[in-house]
Amino acid sequence: MAQCTAPIQGHRTASGRANCPVCGGRSRQYTPYISSYSGLTSSWTPAYQSPAYHAGGSSRSNRPYWSTSSSSVIYTAGEIRALSPIRRSIEKQGLKPDKYDVFLCHAWDDRRTVAKDLYEALKNAGVSVWFSEREVLLGSNLMREIDRGLAKSRAGLVLVTASFIGRIKSEGVADKELSALLARDLLVPIVHGVTYEDLREESPLLASRNGLSTAEDTVEDIAAKISELVSTDELSD
């Protein structure tokens, strides 16, 4: 009497099933064989999902735990991973009304273009920003004012442009601000007109901290994400 060859050879392919003296004459619809003694089951358990975000229907519809259920702001999983440690640090600081939400580090060359655009978008999103063009008065000691601004800010934004990378090379003011922010481990890089690969050639440490990019989001979208990141509404409850 012919015997099914599945327990020995397994019907893992359509041809294997066709060559079986028992199953070959049955329906051509192929069903993978699972041995009854293998210990395997047909149940499937999804991979563990970090509590840092709630998954949506696409790679850009995730919502981090600090985002409200009514928020329309969408994030990539990579952005959530990059921003989560900063959010936790902000929460640990507690509610400090005398502090700026963020310190905006930028190249001098960008002060009237993209840095100003980002500053305005952040202000419109309700974020309090230490921005040298607004906070440093004429005749003031620039480095001392920057030092105070850093001390009074809960987190830092680093606007990375071609000009900024050039300023790092020349070890100017932007380089000193960056060094202070890197030491605090509370900064979000925002690349504009360059890539993280471009930045990695000059500052591997900063490039290793993925953040946001104007190639992926508008300045207004980035401002909305920063606004949610630094929100203290939950801290004041």
Q: Which of 79, 145, 171, 177 is catalytic?
A: 177
| 190 SS3 class | strand
One-letter identity of residue 97: P
Q: State yes or no: pLDDT of 113 exceeds 70.
A: yes
Domains of the chain, residue spans:
93-230
Position of tokens 């060094």? Answer: 179
pTM above 0.75, yes or no: no
**CA–CA separation, 61 vs 48, rounded Å?**
18
Rg (alpha carbons) of the chain, rounded to whole number:
27
Residue 208: count of CB within 10 angstroms of its CB:
11
Task: Read off the pLDDT of residues 45-99 as tens digits, 9 standing for 90 and up.
Answer: 333 334 454 444 444 558 899 999 899 999 999 999 999 999 999 999 888 778 8
Q: State yes or no: pLDDT of 158 exceeds 50.
A: yes
Q: Residue 154's pLDDT band (boundaries 50, 70, 90)?
A: very high
pLDDT average, residue stretch 170-186 = 75
CB 76 within 8 A of CB 60: yes
pLDDT of residue 236: 61
For domain 93-230, give its CATH number from 3.30.230.70, 3.40.50.10140, 3.40.190.10, 3.40.640.10.
Answer: 3.40.50.10140
DSSP per-residue codes, 87-137: HHHHHHH---TTSEEEEEE--GGGTTTHHHHHHHHHHHTT--EE-HHHHS-
pLDDT of residue 34: 34
pLDDT of residue 30: 38
Q: State yes or no: pLDDT of 186 exceeds 90.
A: no
| Cα dihedral 224/164/209/120 (nearest 10) | -10
**CA–CA separation, 57 vs 67, rounded Å?**
17
Whether 234 is catalytic is no
